[in-house]
Amino acid sequence: MATLDVLTLTEAKQGLNEVNATGLDAELPAWITAVSLRLDQLVGPIVRRSVSESLDGGRCTVHLHHYPVYSITTVTEYNHTTPTVLTAETNLSKPASAYLAEPYDVPVSLADGSQLVLLSGAIRRRASGSDTWFPTGRRNVVIAYSAGRFADTASVDQRYKRAAVLCLQNIWQSQRISTAIEGEFDVPVSNFPRFVIPNAVKEMFPGEVQAEPNRFLVA
């Protein structure tokens, strides 16, 4: 099983009604990982992972590619070859070399009624309480951070696990028997899935679905 999987093997087998099918133990983990990565693409990282990005400066705000963000570890800007480690700005502290991480403005409600407090991935350059600019340069703003919502597979909220089960059930159709009996005849049944994410899954994440490239756009 992969570190970023949304489901455990047991949860996946329960979702497929294959609890006692030990013959699936070698094959099913790869399907679980594929579904988990596809959900990451849909709503952003689910299980937390450490990321480091180098972004172009010359602007007031840089945007991390993997969001929502759980925490920022370090923000370092380079003015030519001179590095400066920035300090997080708060209401009680307004350093001259600072950054401000914007909140993730989509409420992420959990099964226990609580809400996750996350960051959007937008990082503002701040100086003594005011907006300013990151130094001009290519890949000269280096940010280390933790992206995602939950600490590990076991901690993932049930809403995300149920979404993963729906996706897994959908693509697992290709492994089912492809004929049905009608009267005395075997009738072919099309079980090959045409997509991984059912519309029902998208409906489970209002505001959390991230923009995806248009596959039908012709340049």
Q: Which residues of the chain have pLDDT under 50?
A: 179, 216-219
pLDDT of residue 112: 84
Q: Measured on CA atoms in the order 199, 205, 206, 208, is the torsion positive or negative?
A: negative
- pLDDT at residue 111, rounded to an integer: 80
Domain map of the chain by residue range? Answer: 1-47+157-175+194-208, 49-147
- Cβ atoms of 54 and 141 within 8 Å: the answer is yes
Q: Is 123 exposed, middle or buried (0-12, 13-18, 19+ CB in 10 A)?
A: buried
Q: What is the pLDDT of residues 194-208, one digit of tens each?
A: 788 999 999 999 999
Percent of the chain at pLDDT > 90 equals: 73
CA separation for the pair 105, 99 (Å, rounded)? 18
**pTM (two decimals):** 0.86
E strands along the chain, which residues? Answer: 49-55, 61-63, 69-79, 82-85, 87-88, 98-103, 108-109, 115-116, 119-127, 130-131, 141-147, 179-182, 185-188
pLDDT at 189 (0 to 100)? 53
Q: What is the pLDDT of residues 47-78, one digit of tens each?
A: 999 999 999 999 999 999 999 999 999 999 99
Q: Which residues pair with 123 in a beta bridge?
A: 62, 101
